[in-house]
Structure 1
Amino acid sequence: MAFTRRRPSSVVVAAALLSVLELCSLLAGPASAQGKTGQVTVFWGRHKDEGSLREACDSGLYSMVIMSFLDAYGRGTYDLDLSGHSLAGMGDAIKRCQFLGVPVSISIGGFGAGYSLPTNQSALALFDHLWNTYFGGSLNDTRRLFGDAWLDGVDMFLEHATPAEHYSTLALQLAKHNIRAGDGKLLHLTATPRCRFPDGRVKEALDTGIFERIHVRFYDDPGCAAGGFSAAEWDRWTAAYPFTKIYVWHSSLRYTAPATLRRAVLPVAQKAANYGGVMLWDRYFDKRSNYSGSIKNWV
């Protein structure tokens, strides 16, 4: 099937970066979501009682874990809120996940109002913080929260951003500097928008064309899909970004029976050539319900 590709605002830069990312994704092995289905990704870090990061990866249920959230930035201060989880031993847990082929990303944004990127300079400053704190940077005055462990990607979960903010600058900077982040590591650049297309908070960033995955939040957006999944919105997302894997967001808090997901949602979603899998919110609720275990063989 032929697709018409959306042209990014920075055509030359983004097209070159996308070509490299597509090539790298084919070589990335088990940690890459490109070219696969059957993927179940989960958010971790919002409940102290959800268990450890190591336990989540050892469960064998997930193809990626996204730590949430870096929820303060843009005003010269940065804060990673993991709901009381101790950072002690976190670096070893990240390495354990990576050894198992489960990449670990960090999500920026969240439900609070302590973040913004009002200028290009603030976007570049956030990149510097991310690169030197969680990835391959090594500035002497930067505290690396996880020691010498490097994360695998950045997710944009922008609940309170505006279309005027500079997330496209951040996205291009991440891709430009982290196509190969040392030792063959790849950066997984993802976004988790609300389901009504387009989501203006992240649209400019997505239109760069360099995102690997989009997790569409159907089950957390009653204004778009009051009954859950919206086939019309799904078609808009998958058609708009044909070179990006699109995931169905599911909230284990607002429960949709596994049989309903199997009969009513997945047969529609899987028709798209760029269907990627299911994103779950979150590890705490999934652990209580075993939702991922119930759907894993259907996804």
Structure 2
Amino acid sequence: MVFIEKAIGITAILSFLSTQVLAASIPSNAVAQYWGQNSALDQQNLAHYCDGSSDVFLVSFLTDFNVGGLPNLNFANACTDVFSGTTLLNCPQIGADIKTCQSKGKKVLLSLGGAAGSYGFTSDAQATTFANTLYGMFGKGTHQYRPFGDAVIDGFDLDIEGGGPTGYATLINSLRSLDANVLITGAPQCPYPDAMLGDAMNKASFDAVWVQFYNNYCSVTGGNFNFDAWNTWATQTSTNKNVKVFLGLPGSSSAAGSGYVGYSQIQSTVNSLHQYSSFGGVMFWDASQSYSNTEVSPDLAAAVGTFVHGGSSGGGSTSTTTTSAKPTTTATPTTTSASSSAVSSTTSASSTPSSSPGTCVTNGEACSTQGKYVCSGNSFAICDHGAWVLQGCGSGLTCFPTTDGASVYCAQPSSGSGSTCTNANAVPAAPKAYKSALVQAQLSVANATETSWSAVVNARRLKTLPFGSKVVVHFKLPSHMTIDSVSNGRVIQNGTLASVQITNPHKKSMDLLFTLNGSVEKGTVFVAPTSSNIKFQS
């Protein structure tokens, strides 16, 4: 790490800022890219990606708020120099790239949060203080330290993965009081309402939300895709009724634990989403992934950009949004606990779900694919020698498609009795999330076969204290099931008790994502531990 000192003339900054006019709008039929974390390990500088494929760039991340002091930034390989005597990154090249991108009509926002780091507020007063810091360092203000020099970002993005919901509505309203034209966006996870941003999304005005339809049960392919719930929030509940909702996707199969879909699936999904007035376009995590993904020529970012820009409103067009800072109603963050079980399947992965919400079969009804599993209300059915064999999921459980859409599993629904066969258009209940005083976690079954299973656990801290470098999770399992491996860790299993020891790749983080792989005895039903049989030790 190189320590440097760069003097910035306040007069020069004021002269430059006086010429800047920020339009409070997000392009329609747009593609947004997160940039800064080098997730594909071949990240280029920001300006490299400012071509005709993408419209909005989310520079990520500001990882530690350190309210009252200097925040911490992390841009991976893009910036390592710091201001002398501090740990604050000094990134003149990123600043130059921001201005280059803006000169091409791109919107550039600074993203706060992310999985790594330690952040959050304990009071609204802290949020107000931090808003002034952000304005001074990255907006039109004149802070002593400006990591991007005289470049002025278009706004701020909240990718709040943990730390609790306190203060974010106040942060947004304070930023808007400092600059009426500032853009505010958020990146909620797809379970609605988001546990961290739900309150702020109903109290403060967002210009766009990049909903993460991955690493969760509500992915595009799994049968619990819930864009309609987010459209309802946008059009009926949000403060800004012109807020845009984006389809957030991984840029390649290595960009997320689950939820990646190929170009043809993106095309069909986007076509179906044009029915929603709030639909704004596609977001990718991240630029290094989508621009290096050559599944489609010349790359996924270019192909999706061309397709999305051909939408009904035309590529690059803008739609001015309303930016009222007045609060409306309050969202209640999810307060549920987890329990799920999965059913094995002999089918191969497919982009088409095995069953649709509300679809039901009867015992003995004819079927054509040996070994296929489908949901049938609260039960599941197996195709056995040309006839469906119906089996119940068990008391308090209902049937869900796996996130790859190729099989099914049984899980405790978040509310009510789950799916029924009385309404073919009914939306199935969401799997219930695990919750303790410090952690909320969603277990999503990615796939299942006759003898194996894979699940993604997405855990979020509910307090400002982050996960540490080592995290231990205990599971009590049914006797016919084992956990064989875990990403970034090891498994110790003694009878029905399994301890998963995970090395946190971020050292400290507000979110922890890990994949479990295991086995079940052939001919039995995979049953994941209930919420009372899961315990996060750290």
TM-score by length of 2: 0.46
Find 2:65's aligned residue among 64, 73, 88: 73
> Contact between 1:218 and 1:229, CA under 8 Å: does it hold in 2?
no
Tell me what 1:200 maps to.
195
Tell me what 1:253 maps to.
252
1:227 corresponds to which letter in structure 2? Answer: T
1:240 corresponds to which letter in structure 2? Answer: W
Within-5 A mapping of 1:156-235: 156-163=158-165, 165-179=166-180, 186-219=181-214, 221-225=215-219, 227=221, 230-231=224-225, 233-235=226-228
1:155 corresponds to which letter in structure 2? Answer: D
2:163 corresponds to which letter in structure 1? Answer: A
Tell me what 1:291 maps to.
300
SS in 2 for 1:84: helix
Q: Which runs of 5+ in 1 are unaligned?
A: 1-26, 180-185
Q: Which runs of 5+ in 2 are unaligned?
A: 1-21, 80-90, 236-240, 254-259, 294-298, 309-538
For the residues of structure 1 that align with 2:305 and 2:78, how far apart are their CA atoms? 27
Tell me what 2:25 maps to.
32
For the residues of structure 2 that align with 1:103 and 1:189, how far apart are their CA atoms? 11
CA positional deviation for 1:177? 1.3
> Contact between 1:218 and 1:230, CA under 8 Å: does it hold in 2?
no
> Contact between 1:91 and 1:147, CA under 8 Å: does it hold in 2?
yes
Within-5 A mapping of 1:128-167: 128-139=132-143, 142-163=144-165, 165-167=166-168
For the residues of structure 2 that align with 1:64 and 1:229, how far apart are their CA atoms? 29
For the residues of structure 2 that align with 1:54 and 1:297, how far apart are their CA atoms? 19
Deviations 1:252-285 (A, max 9, x none): 133311111112x112211101110000110111
For the residues of structure 2 that align with 1:187 and 1:240, how far apart are their CA atoms? 22
CA positional deviation for 1:46? 0.4
Structure of greater Rg: 2
Deviations 1:169-203 (A, max 9, x none): 00111112111xxxxxx311000000011002001
For the residues of structure 2 that align with 1:277 and 1:66, how far apart are their CA atoms? 15
CA positional deviation for 1:297? 2.8
Tell me what 1:15 maps to.
none
CA positional deviation for 1:248? 0.2
SS in 2 for 1:207: helix
Deviations 1:15-74 (A, max 9, x none): xxxxxxxxxxxx94xx8325x22x0000000016310111111x2211110000101014
C-alpha distance 229-93 of structure 1, shift in aligned 2 (>3 A): farther
SS in 2 for 1:239: helix
Find 1:270's aligned residue among 274, 284, 291: 274
Identical aligned residues as a percent: 26
C-alpha distance 223-102 of structure 1, shift in aligned 2 (>3 A): same
For the residues of structure 2 that align with 1:228 and 1:215, how far apart are their CA atoms? 19
SS in 1 for 2:307: coil
1:42 aligns with 2:33: yes
For the residues of structure 2 that align with 1:129 and 1:230, how far apart are their CA atoms? 40
CA positional deviation for 1:204? 1.4
> Contact between 2:58 and 2:111, CA under 8 Å: does it hold in 1?
yes
C-alpha distance 228-287 of structure 1, shift in aligned 2 (>3 A): farther
SS in 1 for 2:77: coil
1:118 corresponds to which letter in structure 2? Answer: T
Which is worse superposed, 187-196 or 247-256? 247-256
CA positional deviation for 1:115? 0.5
Which is worse superposed, 93-102 or 203-212? 203-212
| Greater relative CO, 1 or 2 (CA 8 Å, sep 6+) | 1
Find 2:101's aligned residue among 97, 104, 116: 97
Once superposed, what is the RMSD of the aligned Cα atoms?
A: 2.1
For the residues of structure 1 that align with 2:133 and 2:250, how far apart are their CA atoms? 30
For the residues of structure 2 that align with 1:120 and 1:218, how far apart are their CA atoms? 30
Number of matched pairs: 257
> Contact between 2:92 and 2:149, CA under 8 Å: does it hold in 1?
no
> Contact between 2:173 and 2:204, CA under 8 Å: does it hold in 1?
no
For the residues of structure 2 that align with 1:224 and 1:152, how far apart are their CA atoms? 30
For the residues of structure 1 that align with 2:120 and 2:163, how far apart are their CA atoms? 6
Which is worse superposed, 109-118 or 84-93? 84-93
CA positional deviation for 1:129? 1.5
SS in 2 for 1:271: coil
Deviations 1:93-125 (A, max 9, x none): 111111100011000011024111111222122
